[in-house]
Structure 1
Amino acid sequence: MAQAESSTPQVSSKAEAKAELKKLKAQQKQQKQERKARKKANKKEGFFARIKQVFDMTRSYDPNIGWWMALAFLLTFAVVTVVIGLLLNWVTGVLVALPFGLLATLFVMNRRAEKAAFSRIEGRPGAAAAVLNTLRRGWSVTEEPVAMDPKTQAAVFRVVGKPGLVLVTDGSAAAVRKLVPKTRKRFTPVLRDTGVPIHVVETGRGEGQVPLPRLNKHIKKLDKTLTKHEVAALDKRLNSLPISRPPIPHGVDPYRMRPDRKAMRG
């Protein structure tokens, strides 16, 4: 009897422990699901917040951005709906056309936003470099100018790609046209035996110049003469030359001509 009575609380304590453990696991699972839900909600809020920010920035420079986005959506939606509707059925056509219309809308917004951003910095020192840095794979762009006039802040930047060596100017036409011949002479002896062409692209809104919003597109349209491996070899060769760096003291901002204290400290 005594043994039976003593075993009852043990069974009860085991059952309570299991119940508590089960309850704890359920709470942990619920907390985990809540964290995932909050994280997912934050991502969505961040995504839509970024879209709204880009849209507002673009609209300040391009008031018609909303109409362009609506036109892109309607045209894409109509074309996809008709094509899929004729091939399958109209319900499927509408369902497939919706995401394609949204993608077209985002694509137009991104392109217009890019143009607005380029227009925003146009005319400022270093604007050409900022645009060139958006070039994707297959292109090598120098962060610092290979030639510069400290007085006028005119500069020449080096781009290496399948078209060969591209010298991109930044600044007033009169100033850069003095820099280009000297810069070309620096690279001509190095490339004489390689057959690599040297292109000069002058940025600006004047005659014979390329506006910033069309700069990358213009460079990509240049005749391609080099392979991927030849581009890498050319970039490596130019990087090893001291003439590939501008005649500016180390640690000095080329656009403000003011010492960079961190760089001077090493």
Structure 2
Amino acid sequence: MARAKSDPSKPTKNPFKRIWQVYQTVKTVDPTIGRWMLGAFVLVMLVGLAIGLLMGHPWATLFVSLPIALLAGMIVLARRGEAAAYRQMEGQKGATLGGLSAIRRGWYYEQEPVAADAQRATELDNAAVVFRALGRPGVVLFAEGPHGRAAKLLEKEKKKVARVAPGVPIHTYHVGSGEGELPVKKIRWTLTRLRPALSKEEMSVVNKRLKSLPGIRQAIPAGVDPTRARMDRKALRGR
């Protein structure tokens, strides 16, 4: 009986094969990754050898340096792989989601835009869109697309959020690679440096209120205007 061939596109549980798969993927967008990894490995080994020569035990320090050198190579692979991924995202519609996905915990964010403004339904590539995230610093709105339409859409979404969550800080950014824009790779860095303003309990309540807002695929129920809901700080704390 012929042995079934494995599918290279499927993730493997073998850590060495996984590293090789990651390396191959990164190499397609960063052909120099091999030289950088080798450089990091050699540098650590040379430092270890120099220390060993000074101590009179070169072989012992080389033995200790080997796993550290391998770790250095893996760190270079991870860092340059992340940088290459961000370079691919730049200028792509929905790049904001790539930046938000790098955040490990402590934030709620939507998997699709909460608002969009296109001249025609078929012109989504040139549309202005807004993504929304919620964390302890408050609500953060990220716009993509042409500046004029994106600014109007941001202001509209900011007013909607302010009506359902008065008193909650609202931060706005325009994501892109141009002057005055927030690069995708700096989204995580920017969010982690915002000052906390909400407790976890308040975040949970605000998240529920935000989900009541109509999105780009969600119609407003007849006779109900969710943007007219009011909330104060006492309500947020559940008092």
TM more than 0.5: yes
Contact 1:145 1:245 in 2 (8 A): no
Matching residue within 103, 108, 111 for 1:143: 111
1:206 aligns with 2:175: no
CA distance in 2, matches of 1:127, 1:44: 27
Query: Counterparts in 2 of 1:23-42, with a 5 A limit?
Result: none
Whether 1:223 aligns to 2:194 is: yes
Q: Shift of the alpha carbon at 1:146?
A: 2.0
Q: Which residue of 2 aligns with 1:174?
A: 148
Say if 2:126 is the partner of 1:158. Answer: no
Counterpart AA for 2:176: G
Query: More helix by proportion, 1 or 2?
Result: 1
Distance 1:85 1:223 in 2: 48
How far is 1:182 from its partner? 0.7
Cα deviation for residue 73 of structure 1 reads 2.1
Work out which of the two has the higher radius of gyration on C-alpha atoms and give 1 or 2: 1
Q: 93, 118, 134: which is aligned to 1:125?
A: 93
Query: Which aligned pairs between 1:73-112 and structure 2 lie closer than 5 A?
Result: 73-79=41-47, 89-112=57-80
**Alpha-carbon separation, structure 2, partners of 1:108 and 1:244:** 43
Take 2:151 and 2:200, find their aligned partners in 1: how far apart are those partners? 27
**C-alpha contact (below 8 Å) 2:143/2:173 kept by paired residues:** yes
How far the C-alpha of 1:80 sits from its partner, in A, is 5.4
Gaps of 5+ in 1: 1-42, 251-266
Q: Is the 8 A contact 2:176 2:183 kept in 1?
A: yes
One-letter code of the match for 1:234? M
> CA separation of 1:58/1:242 partners in 2, compared to 1, >3 Å: closer, same or farther?
closer
TM-score with structure 1 setting the length: 0.64
5 Å-filtered alignment, 1:42-61, equals: 46-61=14-29
SS at match of 1:201: strand
Q: Which runs of 5+ in 2 are unaligned?
A: 1-10, 120-125, 220-239
Q: Distance in 1 between matches of 2:137 and 2:51?
A: 39
CA apart distance, 1:106: 0.9
- TM-score, with length taken from structure 2: 0.70
Tell me how far apart the structure 2 counterparts of residues 110 and 88 of structure 1 sit (CA, whole Å): 34
Does the 8 A contact of 2:161 with 2:210 survive in 1? no
Measured in 2, the distance between the counterparts of 1:192 and 1:86 equals 65
SS in 1 for 2:131: strand
The residue type equivalent to 2:141 in the other structure is L
8 A contact 1:148–1:246 mirrored in 2: no
User: Given the alignment, which residue of 236, 239, 256 partners 2:208?
Assistant: 239
| Matched position secondary structure for 1:236 | helix
Q: Residues 102, 162 of structure 1: CA spacing in aligned structure 2 closer, same or farther, 3 A cutoff?
A: farther
Percent sequence identity is: 33
Distance 1:91 1:217, change over 3 A: same
In 2, the alpha carbon distance for the partners of 1:92 and 1:115 equals 35
